[in-house]
Homo-oligomer: A and B are copies of this chain.
Amino acid sequence: MSAMKKFINSPETMLAESLDGFAAAHGDIVVLGPERKFVRRRLLEPTKVALVSGGGSGHEPLHAGFVGYGMLDAACPGQVFTSPTPDQIVEAAQAVAGEAGVLFIVKNYAGDCMNFEMAAEMAECRTATLITNDDVAVESSTYSGGRRGVAGTLVVEKIVGAAAQKGVALAECAALGTRVNAQTRSMGVALTSCTVPAAGTPTFTLGENEMELGVGIHGEPGRRRVKLVAANAIADEMTAAIMSELVPTGGSDALLIVNGFGGTPLIELYLMYNAARRLLEKRGLRIARSLVGNFVTSLEMAGCSITVSLLDAEMLAFWDDPVRTAALRW
């Protein structure tokens, strides 16, 4: 137990207890499905396209924290850093599906893609699938062929969630999400590892003066393990990597997200936001919208990611639309 300082009763029951707490704390917004297979909106709206996401737990508030009016209809929590099973996804989809069909929003990891694909084949409802892959750090990684889906996923979920809420049809929701994903890029950095409860020891080890630049949200390796440097220099390398993959059109409006990985406090996240914003403005971006906080986490990992999303007027309007979930409300 020496390497794991957590509020926990047992690794086997951790997820179930946390989900019970989540559902009880937000009972006005969500309901926990049978056998805790999914979290769904309390108030179903069977005439709209239903958005279903999910993935391994340990990234809270993603995805269950984004279930509610204007965003997801259901989310399937796998065990920590483990994909949800196809039957979880099928039951979630069938619990929220109406005639307008179901859109699966899936982060690009091999297990998630496979299980959502199996669910799409098994589900007795119309489905479409949208894969997010916003992480510029590496071209492929421990759990993914191609780029990983990370914090940019919440931008897709918010914007497509608003569109679905307004009655946009399944194919158009999928097309909108594809465009948002294409204009959204992220990169992360870890200052410490995290410890998966069932493993009991840290996923990786960093020296006292080291950081992992380009880390994945499960602690997968990034680009380089290097000496910890000043925040401005970290932000410079991250924003440069992001912008090398984005092509702003004239006067692009940008959404800037500085996302904590779970162990980094707000005072540091706002400092990183300040550094990133200045660097992006120097590159000619107009930061039109901002989000700072812990949204797509890696258990108690210290670190953060930066996400830049170039939004056209339609996307901005959907971003601004009302949302009422546990983790995002406006």
Contact = CB atoms under 8 A, between A and B. Distances in A.
Contact of A270 (B18, B265, B268): B18
Given A8-B230, A292-B25, A302-B300, A262 B262 contact: no
A223 interface: no
Main secondary structure of the interface of A (DSSP, over half): mixed
Nearest to A277: B24
Contact of A234 (B7, B19, B25, B297): B7
Interface in A286-310: 287, 290-292, 294, 297, 299-300, 302, 304
Interface residues of A, number: 63
A9 B121 CA distance: 51
Interface in A251-278: 262-275, 277
A292 B25 CA distance: 8
A58 interface: yes
A294 B273 contact: no
Contacts of A10: 230
Contacts of A208: 2-3, 5
A85 interface: no
Contacts of A21: 270-275, 277, 292
A329 interface: yes
Contacts of A58: 265, 267
A273 B24 contact: yes
A95 interface: no
B24 A290 contact: yes
A211 B234 CA distance: 33
Interface in A1-15: 1-3, 5-10, 14-15
A19 B271 CA distance: 8
Given A2-B208, A25-B292, A274 B18 contact: yes
Interface in A150-207: 191-192
Interface in A55-107: 57-58, 60-61, 65, 80
A290 B25 contact: yes
Contacts of A143: none
Contact of A9 (B17, B231, B273): B231
Interface string A20-55: 111011100000000000000000000000000000
B17 A60 contact: no
A56 to B, nearest CB: 11
B270 A25 contact: yes
A232 interface: yes
A60 to B, nearest CB: 4
Given A17-B271, A228-B1, A292-B21, A264 B7 contact: yes
Given A1-B209, A1-B228, A8-B271, 8 more contacts: A5-B228, A9-B230, A24-B290, A25-B270, A26-B290, A60-B265, A263-B302, A266-B297
